[in-house]
Amino acid sequence: MTIRSIALASILVAGTTFSLTGCKKDEATLAAEAKIKELSVDALAGMVKAGKAHVFDANGESTREKYGIIPGAKLLASSSDYDLAALPAEKDASLVFYCSNTMCSAGEGAAKRAALAGYDDVSVLPVGIKGWSESGQKTEKVPNS
């Protein structure tokens, strides 16, 4: 083994150790993430129609203007530090969060915040508003726009 290969191996091992310890999650975060369910468009549409879900939009203004929102959705100012008072008082209420599409993680972040706050029935719509509208579901314009 040459000095160069030893140095390269040391860098790789050090990098791996750093990335493994840097990504460690605490038990509360892991438990919160485990609570979060994924919903299909059809499942959420049924819940919305039956009035069985509190729906939250974690998108930014430009996405909301482009695609609209799910009818009745409450708009979050931020996915990571929104005011928890925006959520219902009942910790067993069905909460559903969404963002723009499968490449966006804002809905998941907002859902994790609710789960960490003690909500038991937390879900995300992974396909987001884009998948919702592409499935032919009704959307609304953003209020006051």
pLDDT in tens, 54-88: 999 999 999 999 999 999 999 999 999 999 999 99
Cβ pair 110, 128 in contact under 8 A: no
State the pLDDT at residue 34: 86
Cβ pair 45, 137 in contact under 8 A: yes
9, two tokens: 């191996």
Cβ pair 139, 52 in contact under 8 A: no
State the pLDDT at residue 145: 54
Which residues in the chain show pLDDT less than 70? 1-24, 145
Q: Does domain 25-134 have CATH number 3.90.1150.10?
A: no
State the pLDDT at residue 22: 53
pTM, full prediction = 0.81
Instruction: Sort strands 54-57 and 37-38 into parallel, antiparallel or unpaired.
Output: unpaired
